[in-house]
């Protein structure tokens, strides 16, 4: 197995995009890997069809153009910080299609139920993957649900499920805790999907692309598809964003204050109790 390799590059996400990731739990980078690299990856996987595909992590073409892909690595740098670790383990969820079985909802092993982000879960699909080849489903917002695997498996279609048909060379970056599943395929062929992780090595800090005029009194922390009690999604999403900024001492005080009121009634002129001191633009908040 390759040794751990730290990597650093320029971050690519803004404050607003980091908030969106905290809320939704995923970013899809469609077709960001070049065709030549995709072809090399498919050829390698055809020659090495094993589930454990860690050997590809030793290939320079894969390291340079997939693991260090500027779009994907820029997202990882934004969320994992400086000197994040490249993966040392690679699994290929290689499917022989057609396949009639719908996979069970699950999250990957090693889940920790605390509102921090120290790992990212990555899918790389080197070939065009239409619905007919069974791209994975993911469930935005599910990263905050505390539930054992044995209690997840019986769920079928869930409102808000996101199908991910995609172009060749797509990389999907997700919160490690997000629910996902394999899907039915109807076309004959092979679908490769490599799964790996990026990992944090440094304490979180707000060193992505900072928006000088960011006013979090106008930012929506509500999930598009919430599985939480009324209004509690706002505080959970805000808590993770602030943790990523390096502020781990913020506590929601309850009732109709920031971030709840900002998410339902955004107003840059309003007095808004609860705004963290580090984000107060003037004395009115």
pLDDT digits (tens, 9 = 90+) for 168-191: 999 999 999 999 999 999 999 999
* pLDDT for residue 281: 63
Residue labelled with tokens 């905290």:
22
Per-residue pLDDT at 227 exceeds 70: yes
Per-residue pLDDT at 144 exceeds 50: yes
The CA dihedral of 201, 115, 163, 160, to the nearest 10 degrees, is: -170
Count of CA atoms in the C-beta half-sphere (13 A) of 128? 5
Per-residue pLDDT at 153 exceeds 90: no
* pLDDT for residue 230: 77
Secondary structure of 64-75 in HEC code, one letter for each residue:
HHHHCCHHHHHH
Average per-residue pLDDT for the chain:
92
Q: Identify whether the C-beta of residue 26 lies closer than 8 Å to the C-beta of residue 172.
A: yes
* pLDDT for residue 257: 84
Q: Write the DSSP symbol of residue 33.
A: S
Q: Taking residues 44-58, what's their average pLDDT?
A: 96
* pLDDT for residue 276: 86
Residue labelled with tokens 């993770």:
240
* pLDDT for residue 161: 95
Query: CB atoms < 10 A from the CB of 190, how many?
Result: 14
pTM: 0.94
Confidence of residue 195 (pLDDT cuts 50, 70, 90): very high
* pLDDT for residue 282: 53
Radius of gyration of the chain, Cα coordinates, nearest whole angstrom: 20
For Cα atoms 108, 112, 117, give the angle at the middle one, nearest 5 degrees: 90
Residue of higher predicted confidence among 228 and 67: 67
pLDDT digits (tens, 9 = 90+) for 158-170: 999 999 999 999 9
DSSP structure string for 193-240: -EEEEEE--S-----SB--TT--TTS-----SS--SSTTHHHHHHHHH
**Which of 74, 185, 160, 72 is CA-nearest to residue 123?**
72
What is the percent of the chain with per-residue pLDDT over 90, rounded to a whole number?
69
Residue of higher predicted confidence among 27 and 231: 27
Q: Taking residues 101-123, what's their average pLDDT?
A: 89
Q: Taking residues 199-205, what's their average pLDDT?
A: 98
Confidence of residue 285 (pLDDT cuts 50, 70, 90): very low
SS3 43: helix
Q: Where do runs of H (alpha helix) occur along the chain?
A: 15-24, 35-47, 60-62, 70-80, 232-245, 260-264
Tell me the domains of the chain and their CATH numbers: 6-199 (2.60.120.620), 214-285 (no CATH)
Secondary structure of 92-110 in HEC code, one letter for each residue:
ECCEEEEECCCCCCECCCC
């Amino acid at each position: 197995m390759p040794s751990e390799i730290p990597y650093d590059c320029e971050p690519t996400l803004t404050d607003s995009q980091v908030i969106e990731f905290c809320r939704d739990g995923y970013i899809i980078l469609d077709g960001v890997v070049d065709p030549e690299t995709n072809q090399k990856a498919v050829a390698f996987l055809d020659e090495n069809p094993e589930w454990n595909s860690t050997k590809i992590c030793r290939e320079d073409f894969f390291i340079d153009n997939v693991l260090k892909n500027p779009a994907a690595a820029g997202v990882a740098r934004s969320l994992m910080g400086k000197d994040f670790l490249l993966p040392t383990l690679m699994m290929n969820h290689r499917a022989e299609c057609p396949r009639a079985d719908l996979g069970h909802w699950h999250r990957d092993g090693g889940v920790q139920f605390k509102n921090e982000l120290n790992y990212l879960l990555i899918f790389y699909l080197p070939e065009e993957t239409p619905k007919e080849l069974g791209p994975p489903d993911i469930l935005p917002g599910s990263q905050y649900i505390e539930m054992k695997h044995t209690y997840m498996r019986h769920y079928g279609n869930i409102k808000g499920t996101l199908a991910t048909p995609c172009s060749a060379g797509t990389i999907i970056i997700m919160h490690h805790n997000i629910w996902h599943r394999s899907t039915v395929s109807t076309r004959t062929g092979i679908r490769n999907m490599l799964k790996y992780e990026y990992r944090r090595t440094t304490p979180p800090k707000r060193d992505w692309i900072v928006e000088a005029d960011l006013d979090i009194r106008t930012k929506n922390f509500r999930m598009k598809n919430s599985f939480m009690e009324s209004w509690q999604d706002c505080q959970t999403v805000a808590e993770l964003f602030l943790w990523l900024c390096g502020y781990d001492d913020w506590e929601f005080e309850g009732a109709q204050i920031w971030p709840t009121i900002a998410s339902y009634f955004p107003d840059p002129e309003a007095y808004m109790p609860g705004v963290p001191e580090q984000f107060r633009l003037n004395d009115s908040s």
